Amino acid sequence: MRSTITGLALAAMAIVPPAGLAAPTPQRIVSVNLCADELLVALADPAQIASLSTYATDPTLSFIADRAKSFRHDAGGAETVVGLAPDLVLAGRFTRLATRQMLARLGYRVVLLDPARSVAQSVDQIRQIAALVGHPERGEALIAAVDDATARAMAAVGETKPTAAVYQRRGYVTGGETLTGELLALVGFANAGGVLAGATGGFVPLERLVTEPPDYLVVASASPPVEDQGSALLAHPALARLYPPARRIVLPERLTVCGGPSLPAAVDWLAGEARRVRLPP
């Protein structure tokens, strides 16, 4: 074990720049975070990507699942990362603490990404990663696409603002101060999640949802599979009666798990759903 740690330390020393010198543009980047995966694929050169995370190719969560199959995508624990000899590691604030601590002790250059809770935070993150990988112009192009989608959505917003709540497995409701809440507002809905579940979200009993119903329910799938008790709640007869298809807004998870590259598609998708549910029967 001691010899393994020593070997890892020597490998790390080889990639740490001398004190006082700016770090060069990274040429071997490893991501252990899904949102970093998406930013890397959108902003970096393919040759810069040494590996994406194990979540990169999950079609339910990853916006870039198909594109990610072209890259190595097995980065997870510190041992895996070190074996890839990266000069930059992208992780998240909720990446396993043990992984982050070991990489830091070994001297690796690690950048932590916070979850984007607003469009503005996501835009800042796009600029940060674009500059980090040496392609700020790609970051600005992506931000322009976000701005264009936002402008399209806002131009189509009607005078009324019906309420909507994002309802997930086990009865989790997205809160008011979240990226999804802001996206709902952009397309003309008032996010009822702030009233039902506070600023950041939480579990809301079915009874409360039925007695304090928002105008629309936002779900990840029009026909979610019933695989366990958590998903069975979404198919409850009370919800089926209260929220038929015309009162359900479908928003796939892969569009809102992260900000960044998925934002233009998420805004356009939600705007399309808003038009659908508002059309007269």
d(CA 80, CA 101): 14
pLDDT of residue 198: 87
pLDDT of residue 200: 84
Instruction: Write out pLDDT tens, residues 242-280.
Output: 999 889 999 999 999 999 999 999 999 999 999 888 765
Answer yes or no: are the C-beta atoms of 147 and 140 closer than 8 Å.
Answer: no
Answer yes or no: are the C-beta atoms of 82 and 61 closer than 8 Å.
Answer: no
- The segments of the chain whose pLDDT lies below 50 read 1-21, 281
Instruction: Write out pLDDT tens, residues 137-158.
Output: 999 999 999 999 999 998 888 7
Answer yes or no: are the C-beta atoms of 49 and 69 closer than 8 Å.
Answer: no
pLDDT of residue 215: 95
pLDDT of residue 199: 86
DSSP secondary structure of 105-159: HTT--EEEEPPP-SHHHHHHHHHHHHHHTT-HHHHHHHHHHHHHHHHHHHHT--S
pTM: 0.86
d(CA 8, CA 251): 43
